[in-house]
Structure 1
Amino acid sequence: MTKLVEAYFKLLKLLMALCLAGMVVLVFGNVVLRYGFNSGITASEEVSRLLFVWLCFIGAVVGLRERAHLGVDTLVARLPRAGRIACAVLSYGMMLYITGLILQGSWAQTVINLEVWSPATGMSMALVYGVGVVFGVSTGAILLHELYRVLTGKATDADLLMVAESEDLPEDAAHDLHTGGHRTHRDASPLAARTASSR
């Protein structure tokens, strides 16, 4: 099961790279063709917009799993473990509710737009809204798994912080600020975690 999950997220990262590469080729190529050859790629705007939408939603899923989203955890970091658990349960509950709304709305829009075609490419507009379904299912699974870990006591103190304090600091350094320099196995790199567990 773990290998399947890892393969799924590797696929998502590959899709992100392909979306970004496609956007660069289409937008830059269109600029070169317009100014250099008085031509252009008719579908450039529509396809690049579609790729951008998919890139943002898929990136949000990967960011959630890797705890890369920025947030302020000044209060939560100072709470006792029971307080952190309560905040985590409340946060996961609210996120699951919002994810459910996104999934419901995206599914409805996907069905409605199945036979609505974009003017330049003729693609179904369901492709635009379909990423919301992928996002909702993926994010919902992640949140349910994390909520289960919290409720069963398997979540570490670092897990209960849930966010990154700063994008300028590495994950380990950010956790050092909250733990006073004492890292759990999750805080450290996988190699360090294995080394610590073997002692």
Structure 2
Amino acid sequence: MNTMLTRLSAVFSRLATLALWVAGIGLVAMTVAVAWQVYGRYVLGSTPRYTEALSIMLMAWFIFLGAAVGVRERYHLGFDVLLYFVPLRAKSVLRTISDVVVFAFGFGMVVYGGQLAALNWSVAIPTLGLPGFMSFLPIITGGVLICLFTIERLLQRFAGLDPDGDAALAEAVEN
């Protein structure tokens, strides 16, 4: 079981790295699009029409991909203050509850993002000429990644591993 989880973790690590690269490229591309929009408006006297819609779409991609990686790397928001005062076993239970809630949120992103994408399947984004469902792909993709990364952590915890490093931290505090 641990070998399978190690392989799964390696695959998810590569997936998270890929997501970060795509998010970073999206951030740079959005910066270029906004710079082009400003240049067009103030220097050329004509704002390119596609830059605003493109910037919003790129921003959605890097936000949702970055959020998913933040969930995997445990950089996302959380209420950790209570965890400093409870025993190690209680920390595991509280973190499991938190992971189940995060999974439910990611699952909701997939379901409701999918519904929004389906509703906009035949609509076109006017300035980009892309199908309307493309606006909701970042939500769905981010939700899928959040679910996968949360399942990974839950499987590790149920296998007796310490994905959160609580045992090592407790040992370091004792010494």
Output the TM-score relative to the length of structure 1. 0.75
> Among residues 53, 57, 61, which one is paired with 1:54 in the alignment?
61
**Residues in 1 aligned to 2:130 and 2:145: alpha-carbon distance in whole angstroms:** 24
Match of 1:92 in 2: 99
The correspondence of residues 1-199 of structure 1 with structure 2, limited to 5 A, is 1=7, 2-155=9-162, 158-159=165-166, 180=173
More helix by share: 2
Shift of 1:32: 1.3
Matched residues in 1 for 2:23 and 2:117: separation?
Answer: 21
Range with bigger deviation, 150-159 or 41-50 = 150-159
The amino acid across from 1:12 in the alignment is A
| Greater Cα offset, 64-73 or 51-60 | 64-73
When structure 1 is superposed on structure 2, of 66-75 and 26-35 the one drifting more is 66-75
Structure 2-normalised TM-score? 0.84
Unaligned stretches of 5+ residues in structure 2: 1-6
* Cα RMSD (Å): 2.3
Paired amino acid for 2:61: W
Higher relative contact order (CA 8 A, sep 6+): 2
| Native 8 Å contact 1:26 1:41 kept in 2 | no
Structure 1 residue runs without a partner (length 5+): 161-174, 183-199
Q: Deviations over 1:131-170 (max 9, x none)?
A: 122112111111111112222221166358xxxxxxxxxx
Question: Aligned partners of 2:29, 2:123: CA distance in 1, in Å?
Answer: 23
**Which one-letter code corresponds to 1:118 in the other structure?**
I
Count residues in correspondence: 167
2:88–2:166: 8 Å Cα contact kept in structure 1?
A: no
Structure 1 CA distance for aligned equivalents of residues 138 and 164 of structure 2: 33
